[in-house]
Amino acid sequence: MKKEWRLICREMEKCRLENQKIELSDNLLWFLVIGEDHRFWSHYGCDPVGLLRAFWCSNIRKSRQGGSTIAMQLVRTIIKKYEPTLKRKLIEIILAFMLTRKYSKEQILRTYLLVAYFGWNMHGVKQACHQIGVNYSKLDDYSAASIVARLKYPQPRHYNEIKENLIQMRTNYLLERTKLTK
C-alpha cells in the first residue's frame, strides 16, 4: 500500500504543477459532486451509506450499483487496479481516507476531473471538452452536465445510438438534480 500511496501523491503533485493555471468551470465541479458523490462535502473519503446501499443492491436486489466516492474513484484511477475484490476495495477505502486527510476537497475534485476517463480518446476533462468542442473554463450547465454524464456512460469510439441516448438521459438527470439542490 505504501507504493500506491507514493504513486497517488506523485500524481496529485504532477496534476497540481501541470494544471495550476487551468480554470475549470465551477458548474463542472458542482455537477461532478451531484452526479458522482452527493455527500462529498460531508465524508472523509468513504461514504458508509453509499457503500451499504451498493452492497444491498448488489447482493440482495441483484442490481449493480456503485458505492465509491470521488476520492475512491480517484484512487482507483491513479493506481489502475480494477479487480472486483474485497481486498482492493478495502485498500481503496484506506487510501481515499488518507487522500482526504492530505489534500483539500477542491484538489481532489480538480485532480479527478483531470485524470478521469470520459470515453474513447478522452482521458481527462481537457481532452473530453476538446473532443466535444467546448471550453472547460466557461461551460454552460448543459455542457458541464454532458461532460460529467460521460463518467457513467463513456463516449464510444464510433457513434452508438444507445450510448448517446444514455449520455443524454444522464445529462438530463443531472440537470434535474441541480434544480432540486439549488
pLDDT at res. 66? 74
pLDDT at res. 179? 76
**Percent of the chain topping pLDDT 90:** 71
Confidence label for 60 from pLDDT (cuts 50, 70 and 90):
confident
Mean pLDDT of the chain: 91
- pLDDT digit string (tens) for 63-110? 767 779 999 999 999 999 988 888 999 999 999 999 999 999 999 999
Give the number of domains in the chain. 1
Q: Whole-angstrom Cα distance, residue 46 to residue 72? A: 7
30 has a pLDDT exceeding 70: yes
- Distance of CA 175 to CAs 40, 140, 169, 180, Å? 18, 11, 10, 9
Q: What is the mean pLDDT of residues 134-152?
A: 93
pLDDT at res. 54? 80
Helix (H) or strand (E) holding 116: none
149 has a pLDDT exceeding 90: yes
182 has a pLDDT exceeding 60: no
Window from 47-56, 78-87, 131-140, 150-159 with minimum mean pLDDT: 47-56
pLDDT at res. 86? 85
CATH number of the CATH domain containing 174: 1.10.3810.10
Q: Quick check: helix, strand or coil at residue 175? A: helix
Cell of 126: 481537457
Q: Whole-angstrom Cα distance, residue 37 to residue 60? A: 22
Confidence label for 181 from pLDDT (cuts 50, 70 and 90):
low
38 has a pLDDT exceeding 80: yes
The domain in which residue 52 lies consists of: 2-181
Residue 103 CA, chain-centre distance (Å), reads 16
